[in-house]
Amino acid sequence: MKDFFPAESNQENRKNKQVYTNAEHPAEQTLPEILSWEASDHNTFTSILKQHTIIITIFTCIIGYALYTESPIMAVTFILVGIVWFMISERKPGTVHCSVSSQGVVVGNSLYEYNAIQSFCILYQREPKSFVSFRIQADAFPYLHISLGTQDPETLRTFLSQYIPEKTHRPGIVDMLDRFF
C-alpha cells in the first residue's frame, strides 16, 4: 500500500502482467481509462438492536466473570473496550472515494498497485450491495473489501481482468465475524 501520487509511473510494475488491448480483450469493448465511485467507509447493519444486545450481553458476562474472579484490571479493561466499541459503532458512516486505473486500485489516499494484488473477486452475497474483494500481499489482513455502490460490477470485472486474475475468495473467520457484527 502506498500513498497515491498521480505523477508516478507504474510501467515497470506491469512488465510481468498480461495486459490486453481492447481488441484482444474477451469482452471486445472499449473501456474507460479510469472507473471511480463512492463507497461507505464501514458496513451498515440491518439489525442494529440485535447486534447491540448480543455484544452488550457478552461484555456483561465477561465483566461479571472478572468481578467474580476478583480481577479488577480485567473488568476495567473490558469496560473501556465496551465504551470504545460503542463510540465507534454509533458514529455515522462516511464515504471514501474509490477508483481503478492502469496504475492500480485507489481507496481514499492509498494506492494498491497491481503487482501487490494477487487476485480479485466480485461478491454478490452481501445484500443489498455488491462488494469487490482483492487478495493483497499482507500478513494480518490479506483481503481488501470495497463496496461497489453504484458502480456496475460487470464493467469493473472487465476492467480489472486486464491487469489481475479473477479467483474465488473463500470467506475466512474475519469475514464471517464481519458479516455478523
Residues 20-78: pLDDT tens digits? Answer: 343 444 444 455 678 888 887 765 544 567 778 888 899 999 999 999 999 999 999 99
Domain assignments of the chain as residue spans, ordered by start: 19-43+94-180, 48-90
Residue 120 clears pLDDT 70, i.e. is over it? yes
Write down the pLDDT at residue 76: 93
Tell me what the mean pLDDT of segment 73-98 comes to: 87
Residue 139: all three cell numbers together: 500478513
Cis peptide before 128 (omega within 30 of 0): yes
Tell me what the mean pLDDT of segment 169-181 comes to: 63
Indicate the pLDDT class of residue 105, thresholds 50, 70 and 90: very high
Higher pLDDT, 130 or 23: 130
Higher pLDDT, 15 or 90: 90
Write down the pLDDT at residue 161: 92
Q: Are 153 and 139 contacting, i.e. CB atoms less than 8 angstroms apart?
A: no
User: Over the stretch 131-140, which tens digit does the pLDDT of each residue have?
Assistant: 888 999 887 7
Q: Above pLDDT 90, what percent of the chain?
A: 30
Tell me what the mean pLDDT of segment 160-169 comes to: 90
Sorted by sequence, the CB contacts under 8 Å of residue 46 that are 6+ apart come out as none
Q: Are 17 and 115 contacting, i.e. CB atoms less than 8 angstroms apart?
A: yes
98: closest CA among 107, 90, 89? 107
Architecture of domain 19-43+94-180: Roll (2.30)
**Which stretches of the chain are assigned E, i.e. beta strand?**
2-3, 34-40, 95-101, 104-107, 110-113, 117-123, 131-136, 143-147
**Residue 54, helix vs strand vs coil:** helix
Q: Are 131 and 122 contacting, i.e. CB atoms less than 8 angstroms apart?
A: yes
Residue 16 clears pLDDT 90, i.e. is over it? no
Average pLDDT, the chain: 76
Tell me what the mean pLDDT of segment 161-179 comes to: 76
